[in-house]
Amino acid sequence: MPDELFFDDPADLKRARDAVFAGTLDRIFDHHPHYRKVFAERGIERSDIRGIDDLAKLPITGKADYVGQPADFSLSLPASFDAEERVVWDVMYTTGSTGDPTPFTSTSYDFLNILAVNRNMLRLRGVTAEDTILNLFPLTRHPHGAFARAMNAAAAYNIPIIAAMPGAPSARHPGLGNRTDDVCALAARSGATILWGVPSYMRKMLGRAEELGLSMPSVRLVFVTGEGFGEEARQDLVDRLKRLGAADPKISVSYGATEMQGGMVECVPGAGYHNPAPLQFCFEAVDPETHALVADGEEGLILLTHLDRRGTTMLRYALGDTARLTRAKCPHCGALTERLVSVPTRRDGFVKIRGMLVNPQALADVLAADSGIADFQAIVDKEDENDQFSMDRLRIRLSSSGEAIHVLGLRVAEKVKATTGVMPVVELAAADDAAFTGRGWKAKPIVDLRKKPE
């Protein structure tokens, strides 16, 4: 079997994909609670779906289907199947429709696949055996792919990784987690060649390192996830690293999703986001309204199909973005796999704040449910309004029903953090505040004041 990323002939790749997908389809038709119901309603039989070319016969799956009944998306395999396929290895969480994040379950079988996905991501990004990674993702209340999978990626590639643990994950363990100055010092003495994290935090950290007179000459690669990351932002990070002594730093952007437990990555800047595991994932682009397939290179709603999963398993799942998709061999690295050749645009109304996907309605619901709040408005902007690359900031402006504002503020901050994963700034609104008088903003649960990248 050739390397899954570098098949020469598309027909050979398709045959290999169909072979692995057949095993998953057999299990879905017999043991997937959600799809068994959908297929029964629509009269779809196993023999109708011979491989990925028949995917278009299936309805698309929306986020609402999944977050409404997440347990129904895990295969419920009987004991006759190998334990590897049934044992839950870990559960990660993604943004839900209510205050509760939605579980994404992986079995031992899936975890090995996740290691392979993350190994492929590092290969595509040009990581070598000499590299060392600095993991700059914070710990989150609900397990989230970013922190954990960076650690797993290094394991799969047999290279060293240092977790910087920015932030203060728990008041019970004041020794866990690091302030920005300590993260800077760690980054400087670690000798890391790769920085991996949320771009706005990375930028803040590098700015502080410069102020502290530190240097990071060994850094050669920076891994960031999308988060509205444009060309200007890329150049800004490069310039900062050069001032810290890095000779020729490259920024590698990925388009990540909980449903992949990894991300689609660039092999070189601007080459598009590669599906890192064509034998595990199949991507399609469809018209957002009619759901008909669009031609290669045309903007469409991006769908993900799991070709080889046993825990949470999805067919034609709409990730919530539109982008242009191509199946052409990458002219830079030669990989034969799907690539997104435009920056994905969110279509589901969710917003990304500091790398966390936030459901505006869930945030509005949790605020509306607090009887201490008379009125509120959530706003996303930047810590420095004159600097479009500075850290995202979530502000909750509210008026109190009578409760002391410091008591209310602490409680609201905790609730918002638990719901969204983002710690907000809580502000008391002035009585004549336009946001509170029904003019303009109020119709939206979250007002996003951030400038969109070019």
Provide CB contacts within 8 A for 263, sequence distance 6+.
121, 225, 254, 255, 256, 257, 273, 276
Comparison of 271 and 282: residue with beta carbon closer to Zn ion: 271
As measured in angstroms, the least distance from the Cβ of 331 to Zn ion is: 8
Comparison of 102 and 252: residue with beta carbon closer to Zn ion: 252
Comparison of 219 and 267: residue with beta carbon closer to Zn ion: 267
77 membership: H or E segment, kind and range: none
181-210 residues near Zn ion, rule: CB under 5 A: none
As measured in angstroms, the least distance from the Cβ of 368 to Zn ion is: 46
Is 127 a binding residue for Zn ion by CB under 5 A? The answer is no
> Binder to Zn ion among 271, 279, 315, 378 (CB under 5 A)?
271
Comparison of 269 and 438: residue with beta carbon closer to Zn ion: 269
Kindly indicate which of the ranges 7-15, 194-202, 262-270, 312-320 contains the residues binding Zn ion, using the contact rule CB under 5 A: 262-270
CB 73 within 8 A of CB 313: yes
Query: Residues 216-255: x/- map of binding to Zn ion (CB under 5 A)?
Result: ----------------------------------------
Q: Please report, to the nearest 10 degrees, the dihedral formed by the alpha carbons of residues 169, 170, 175, 178 taken in order.
A: 20
As measured in angstroms, the least distance from the Cβ of 273 to Zn ion is: 10
Amino acid at the residue 225: T
Return the closest-CA partner of residue 322 out of 348, 300, 342. 300
Distance in angstroms (rounded) separating the CA atoms of residues 267 and 6: 13
Size of the site for Zn ion (CB under 5 A): 5
| Other Cβ atoms closer than 10 A to 71 | 11
- Count of residues making up the chain: 454
315-354 residues near Zn ion, rule: CB under 5 A: 330, 332-333
Comparison of 6 and 89: residue with beta carbon closer to Zn ion: 6
Kindly indicate which of the ranges 71-79, 126-134, 156-164, 267-275 contains the residues binding Zn ion, using the contact rule CB under 5 A: 267-275
Distance in angstroms (rounded) separating the CA atoms of residues 395 and 349: 18
As measured in angstroms, the least distance from the Cβ of 333 to Zn ion is: 3
Return the closest-CA partner of residue 278 out of 65, 124, 99, 386. 124
As measured in angstroms, the least distance from the Cβ of 284 to Zn ion is: 20
As beta bridge partners, residue 376 has 398
> Binder to Zn ion among 146, 195, 202, 267 (CB under 5 A)?
267
Distance in angstroms (rounded) separating the CA atoms of residues 106 and 96: 18
Distance in angstroms (rounded) separating the CA atoms of residues 315 and 303: 8
Q: Please report, to the nearest 10 degrees, the dihedral formed by the alpha carbons of residues 386, 253, 161, 6 taken in order.
A: 180
Comparison of 286 and 333: residue with beta carbon closer to Zn ion: 333
Tell me the three state secondary structure of residue 21: helix
Comparison of 75 and 333: residue with beta carbon closer to Zn ion: 333
Comparison of 271 and 286: residue with beta carbon closer to Zn ion: 271
Residues in touch with Zn ion (CB under 5 A): 267, 271, 330, 332-333
